[in-house]
Amino acid sequence: MTRGVEPPPVTGWVYDIQRFSIHDGPGIRTTVFLKGCPLRCAWCHNPESQDCGVEIAMNPGLCIGCGRCLAACPRQCQAMEAGRRLFRREGCLRCGACAASCPVRALEVIGKDRTVESVLQEVLQDKPFYETSGGGMTLSGGEPMAQFAFTLALARAAKEAGLHVCLETCGFAAWEQYEQMLEVTDVFLYDYKESDPVRHREFTGVPPDAILDNLRRLDERGAALVLRCPLVPGYNARDGHLRAIADLANGLRHVQEVNLMPYHPLGEAKCDRLGKESRLRESRFPDESEVSRWLETVAAQTRVPVKRI
């Protein structure tokens, strides 16, 4: 490297930073949501996280029909027809001019290219709370590993700043990358979505082999693990899968906790706002008795603590 020439700062696509997150690892945490995901889960809660780069979300409920975005858009994507606001996404440049002109945040730019430093600075604002509660930073998404260079750099910077770091991951990335994450990650919040390989492929778009393989290797290396299991009625919320969750936890040595995450149909509303199709066959909140039964079923078959998230 030539002296005096700084490498460009590592940046990543971030779509949200949420303070006082308390169900993404121990204590009070700040969760950094990164964009981009190699999976396409049918039930995705955060469709805005699937693609890397900027997206424009529209919330027609907030729109007051002022027409400013129509004037602002260079491509005539924003339109008003018969009193209805339309967003024709085809020619959209994702330039964000419409969102900038909107007085009520009915249009929003989702995703921002940010430096490690700027994200870390924001995360550090709650340091006193991490210290008093045993919390820290959680990287989530999307799939943080989809922006591996950024994720690694951010986790490393956070560790250097003395923070506890959790990585929430779907497990679908190269082992060499997980290996590098080992030294900068305190707890892996590891998704376990579906035990049946055929269904796994159907629901998520990828086969489970690499995911399970990475999980075993992390366990062998002594990584602290929390299994995060979304339970979606009509998909994976069946006894066989619940048993498989317990079996998986029992078969590994370093699983500290199993988290059951009852599905909520929030993702659908978000799909609408983004102009995406929701692929869900069925969508409802599982009722409380169902959730308690899931909890009991899994808890009965493993000594690892089972928690509802």
Q: Quick one: 133 or 177, whose CB is closer to another protein?
A: 133
Residue 57 has phi, psi (to 5 degrees) of: -105, 140
Q: Quick one: 178 or 294, whose CB is closer to another protein?
A: 294
- What the block records as the tokens of 7 is 């490498």
Contacts of 96 (CB under 8 A, 6+ apart): 54, 56, 109
Kindly state the smallest distance separating residue 64's Cβ from ligand SF4, in Å. 5
Kindly state the smallest distance separating residue 308's Cβ from another protein, in Å. 7
Kindly state the smallest distance separating residue 55's Cβ from ligand SF4, in Å. 9
Contacts of 25 (CB under 8 A, 6+ apart): 135, 136, 138, 164, 166, 187, 189, 226
| Binding span for another protein by CB under 8 A among 14-22, 223-231, 268-276, 292-300 | 14-22
Cβ atoms 154, 32 nearer than 8 A: yes
Between CA 46 and CA 141 the distance in angstroms is 8
Q: 35: closest CA among 22, 47, 25? A: 47
132 binds another protein (CB under 8 A): yes
262 binds another protein (CB under 8 A): no
Between CA 168 and CA 145 the distance in angstroms is 9
Q: Which residue among 36, 47, 111, 135 contacts another protein (CB under 8 A)?
A: 135
Site mask, another protein, residues 85-114, x = CB under 8 A?
------------------xxx---------
118 binds another protein (CB under 8 A): no
134 binds another protein (CB under 8 A): yes
Binding site for ligand SF4 (CB under 6 A): 56, 63-69, 72-75, 77-78, 85, 92-98, 101-102, 104, 106-107
